[in-house]
Amino acid sequence: MRKIIIAGNWKMNKGLDETRDFFQEVVSALRGVELGSIVPVVAPAYPFLAEALRESFGSDILVSAQEVSLNSDGAYTGEVSAAMLKSLNLPYCIIGHSERRQYHNESDANVQHKLLKLLAHGITPIVCIGETLAQRDANQTEAVVLAQLKGCLQDVPLKTGTEIIIAYEPVWAIGTGRTATPEQAQEVHALIRSWMMENYSGVVATNLSILYGGSVKPDNLALLLACEDIDGGLIGGASLKAEDFIEMVKIAREADLLIGLCQSGD
C-alpha cells in the first residue's frame, strides 16, 4: 500500500520561534491520532532543521530539507551536502523545485546528480517536475513531464519504488491560487505512473508515491486525494498555518479510511 504524504514546503518562510511554535502545535494536535498510512512531513529552512527535529522527536511528523548541494564537501560557500543532512538523520529532501529551476538554473542533470547523492546517503528525494503555463497552452505537458522524468531518473536504479517520491507541480498552479483540477492532475499522475511501469517495473510503479503540488489547501485536498494516482500533496502557502496543516493531515486520514472501506467492499 502506498504512503499518503502530506508535505509542507515552507520555502523561505518562518524563523526560529515560528518554527518551534508550529511544531509544538502540530505535534500536540496529532499526538494519539491514528495516522495509518498518512505521513506528515515539513520542510523548514536550513538553519531551523535541528530545532524542527528536536521538536518533532518521538512524534509522527517527519522533517525534510528543501535542497542539497551537487557537491560532496569542500570549498562551496553557502552549500549544504547530503552527508550533512544525513548527519542530522533527515529522512527526506526536496530537489528540482521549479523555483530552483527558475531562479538558480537547476537542470534535470543537476537534479539527477543530487538524487544519486541523496540515495547514497539513505535520504529519500522528493523530486519535483511540472510544466509552465506556456508549455501547457502549447500542448507540451506530456512531453515536458516525460522529458523531466527521463532526465532526473537517468541511470537511477530503483527496485521497490519507495526509494524516491515524485511531486508533480504545474508551475502555473504554484502560489497562484489556481489549482489544477483533479482531472488535470490525475491525468499527469497516471502518465508518470505508466512511465515508471514501462521503464522500471510494476512493483516500482505501484509503490511510488506521487504528490500533487500547486495551491493545495484544506478546501481542495479531499477531491485531489480521491484520484487514483494522487498520493498526497506538496504544499506551500497552506502549510505555513499549523491549523491548516493539521486539518490537511486529518482530511488525508479520512480520505484514506474511505478508500480502504471501498476497497474492502464494506
**What is the binding site for ligand 13P (CB under 6 A)?**
9, 97, 169, 174-175, 213-216, 234-238
**Nearer of residues 174 and 230 to ligand 13P, judged by Cβ:** 174
- In whole angstroms, what is the distance from residue 200 CA to residue 94 CA? 22
**Nearer of residues 13 and 206 to ligand 13P, judged by Cβ:** 13
**Nearer of residues 19 and 215 to ligand 13P, judged by Cβ:** 215
CB of 38 to ligand 13P, least distance (A): 18
Is 93 exposed, middle or buried, given 0-12, 13-18 or 19+ CB atoms closer than 10 A? Answer: buried
- In whole angstroms, what is the distance from residue 133 CA to residue 174 CA? 11
Helix, coil or strand: residue 211: strand
CB of 252 to ligand 13P, least distance (A): 15
CB of 240 to ligand 13P, least distance (A): 9
**Nearer of residues 13 and 199 to ligand 13P, judged by Cβ:** 13
Strand partners of residue 239 = none
C-beta neighbour count of 266 within 10 angstroms? 6
Q: Which of 97, 99, 131, 163 is catalytic?
A: 97
Q: Which residues contact 263 (CB under 8 A, 6 or more apart)?
A: none
Q: Where are the alpha helices (DSSP H) in 159-241?
A: 182-199, 202-207, 218-225
- Is 55 annotated as catalytic? no
41-72 residues labelled b (16+ CB within 10 A) or e (exposed): bbbbbeebbebbbebbeeebbbbbbbbbbeee
CB of 43 to ligand 13P, least distance (A): 8
- Is 97 annotated as catalytic? yes
CB of 236 to ligand 13P, least distance (A): 2
- The enclosing H or E element of 78 equals none
Which residue's C-beta sits nearest to ligand 13P?
Answer: 236
**Nearer of residues 81 and 179 to ligand 13P, judged by Cβ:** 179
Q: Which of 106, 131, 163, 169 is catalytic?
A: 169
- In whole angstroms, what is the distance from residue 263 CA to residue 37 CA? 15
Active-site residue set = 97, 169
